[in-house]
């Protein structure tokens, strides 16, 4: 069952999502060659708490941090570490969630550190735009497959591959609710979207093949061929005529 949220519940989700968006904005400026991923994590945790939220990922299924920092061939769920230093030419995906008034917000961005090769820059741009195109499909009466296929179509047209092992998700009182939102699929298929559904839409694309390997830490998902990967995510509410982007400041 896909839950429908009340207007008041959506406002709580907006507060959680805005905390996430604000902190991601500050983190973006901190992603420079020399910064450790642990520094980014500590900063994110402090900022979420100062804003009256709680970290959503810390302790979730045993995840040990507030932030996921996934660099280059890392797709998602990179664990912050004092030993991991951002280098010139890295692409750095930052995925952050917050809990506020009993509701979750979840968003991700991919940030570039220094100068990167043109194909990698294209990957980041195509991933960002695939999310924007997906959001344009969200409205009451649309099908979930319209959203999924928008990501896949744009990615494939632009020579990128779509990660299939991880998906977006419904979100609300739980970080992960129904439905699962793949970044591939058929337009006109799947559940009909209704006003008040709240979704975390999160394309993950690779420059090479999209096969995934999970590292020995049990979390870090990397592309099997070592090709770079990018990730963007927004938490949104379905409305009668479109999409209310809760995690956009």
CA dist list (Å): 15 to 134, 186, 199: 23, 33, 15
As beta bridge partners, residue 71 has: 92
Report the residue number, 93 or 223, with the smaller CB distance to ligand MF3.
93
Q: Where are the beta strands (DSSP E) in the chain?
A: 54-55, 67-71, 74-76, 91-100, 103-112, 161-162, 168-170, 177-181, 198-201, 204-206, 212-214, 221-223, 229-231, 234-239, 242-245
192 token code pair? 């009909």
Binding residues for Co ion, rule CB under 5 A, total: 2
150 token code pair? 């928008």
Is residue 60 involved in binding ligand MF3 (CB under 6 A)? Answer: yes
* Residues 161 to 190 in contact with ligand MF3, rule: CB under 6 A: 169
Is residue 74 involved in binding ligand MF3 (CB under 6 A)? Answer: no
Minimum CB separation of residue 106 from ligand MF3 in Å reads 5
Of 68, 124, 162, 237, the one binding ligand MF3 by CB under 6 A: 68
Give 84's contacts (C-beta < 8 A, 6+ positions apart).
36, 37, 38, 69, 71, 78
119, 129 contact by CB (below 8 A): no
Of 31, 79, 200, 236, the one binding Co ion by CB under 5 A: 200
Binding mask 102-121 toward Co ion (x if CB under 5 A, else -) reads: ----x---------------
Report the residue number, 116 or 223, with the smaller CB distance to ligand MF3.
223
Is residue 57 involved in binding ligand MF3 (CB under 6 A)? Answer: yes
Report the residue number, 57 or 184, with the smaller CB distance to ligand MF3.
57
Residues forming contacts to Co ion in the complex (CB under 5 A) are 106, 200
Residues forming contacts to ligand MF3 in the complex (CB under 6 A) are 57, 60-61, 63, 68, 77, 95, 106, 169, 200, 233
């Amino acid at each position: 069952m896909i839950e429908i949220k009340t207007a008041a519940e959506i406002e709580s989700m907006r507060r959680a999502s805005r905390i996430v968006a604000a902190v991601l904005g500050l983190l973006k400026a901190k992603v420079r060659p020399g910064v450790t991923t642990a520094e980014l994590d500590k900063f994110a945790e402090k900022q979420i708490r100062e804003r009256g939220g709680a970290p959503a990922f810390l302790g979730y299924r045993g995840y040990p941090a507030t932030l996921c920092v996934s660099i280059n061939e890392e797709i998602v769920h990179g664990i912050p570490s004092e030993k991991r230093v951002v280098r010139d030419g890295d692409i750095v995906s930052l995925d952050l969630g917050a809990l506020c008034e009993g509701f979750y917000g979840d968003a991700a961005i991919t940030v570039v550190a220094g100068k990167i090769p043109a194909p990698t820059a294209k990957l980041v741009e195509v991933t960002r735009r695939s999310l924007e195109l997906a959001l344009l499909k969200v409205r009451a009466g649309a099908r979930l497959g319209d959203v999924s296929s928008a990501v896949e179509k744009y990615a494939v047209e632009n020579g990128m591959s779509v990660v299939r092992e991880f998906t977006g998700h419904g979100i609300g009182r739980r970080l992960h609710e129904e439905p699962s939102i793949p970044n591939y699929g058929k337009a006109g298929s799947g559940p009909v979207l209704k006003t008040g559904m709240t979704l975390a839409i999160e394309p993950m694309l690779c420059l090479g093949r999209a096969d995934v390997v999970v590292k020995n830490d049990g979390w870090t998902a990397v592309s099997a061929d070592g090709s770079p990967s990018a990730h963007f995510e927004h938490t949104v509410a379905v409305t009668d005529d479109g999409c209310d982007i809760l995690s956009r400041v």
